[in-house]
Amino acid sequence: MKDREWYVKGLRDGLPIAAGYFAVALTLGLAARQAGLTWLQATATSLLINASAGEFVGFSMIAGHAGILATMLMEGIANARYLLMSFALSQKLDPDVGLGRRLLLGFDITDELFGLSMAVDGRLSPSYTFGAMTVSIPAWALGTLIGVLAGNVIPARFASALSVALYGMFIAIFIPPARKDRVVAGLVALSFALSYACQRLAIMTEGTRLIVLTVSLSLGAAVLFPVKEGGRHG
């Protein structure tokens, strides 16, 4: 597929992400307002950072006048998992992909865009992720803006339906390979179970849980069931 086609596919696949982001960003905007940010500051933050946990942390640090250095430290901790995701994405790219495209791709690594990009068969064309970014970044910023100005204006019913768009998309990504590959099916089931257990037992924050489970389960599977080059198991 050409870059252009990848871009268009990314635009389309990015729509569910945009819907989910919009719903989440409304709450984020509300938090920004409570922290005393103006609409411009909150929207700029969402355009520049695009990370829910990272922004929530940042807003509470700003509200508490925590100091620049402490805020940077907390921002680093809240975003630490993106280091690993950035590394994994780098391995998914053709080594020839240039600096500019790498910087742009890295700029908007989020849990969702990472998952979407990594699930592509074979090499990742950055254009695919750029397409998804084109619809999801404005949705994130717009949701934040509306959240600051008007709070939760959309009815709860629609907000809850919108936020499920994201999960529907995730399901559509991990179920087809789980159908073809028993190891992936087992991994998905185990991920559900452990993620649920961690939440019930209140072990780790959401971001930490995501990275700890991702690393441990994927590593376990890689050691026990290594895949052949490009191949899968039955």
Partner 1 sequence: MDETWLYILAMAAVSFAIRTLPLTLCRKEIKNRTVRSFLYYVPYVTLAVMTFPAIMSATASVYSGLAALAVGIVLAYRGVGLFGVSVLCCLTVLVSELFL
Which residues, numbered 139-168, are part of the site for partner 1 (CB under 8 A)? Answer: 156-158, 160-168
Decide if residue 214 touches partner 1 (CB under 8 A).
Answer: yes
Tell me phi and psi for residue 226, to 5 degrees: -60, 145
Decide if residue 76 touches partner 1 (CB under 8 A).
Answer: yes
- Which of 26, 31, 51, 142 lies at the binding interface for partner 1 (CB under 8 A)? 51
Decide if residue 86 touches partner 1 (CB under 8 A).
Answer: yes
Decide if residue 52 touches partner 1 (CB under 8 A).
Answer: no
CA distances in angstroms from 149 to 27, 31, 63, listed in the order given = 11, 11, 18
Could you give the CA distance from residue 110 to residue 51 in angstroms, rounded to a whole number?
7
Total number of residues that touch partner 1 (CB under 8 A): 99
Could you give the CA distance from residue 37 to residue 60 in angstroms, rounded to a whole number?
11
What is the token pair recorded at 43?
A: 């929207």
Decide if residue 204 touches partner 1 (CB under 8 A).
Answer: no
Site string for partner 1, 6-45 (x = CB under 8 A): ------xx-xx--x----------------xxx--x--xx
Residue 2 or 156 having the CB closest to partner 1: 156
CA distances in angstroms from 10 to 115, 209, 219, listed in the order given = 13, 28, 28
Least distance from C-beta 7 to partner 1, angstroms?
A: 16
Decide if residue 194 touches partner 1 (CB under 8 A).
Answer: yes
Q: Which of 115, 124, 72, 77 is nearest to 97 (CA)?
A: 124
Residue 85 or 145 having the CB closest to partner 1: 85
CA end-to-end span of the chain, whole Å?
Answer: 27
114-122, 135-143, 145-153 -> range binding partner 1 (CB under 8 A)? 114-122
What is the token pair recorded at 47?
A: 């355009």
Helix H or strand E segment including 97: none
Residue 134 or 221 having the CB closest to partner 1: 221
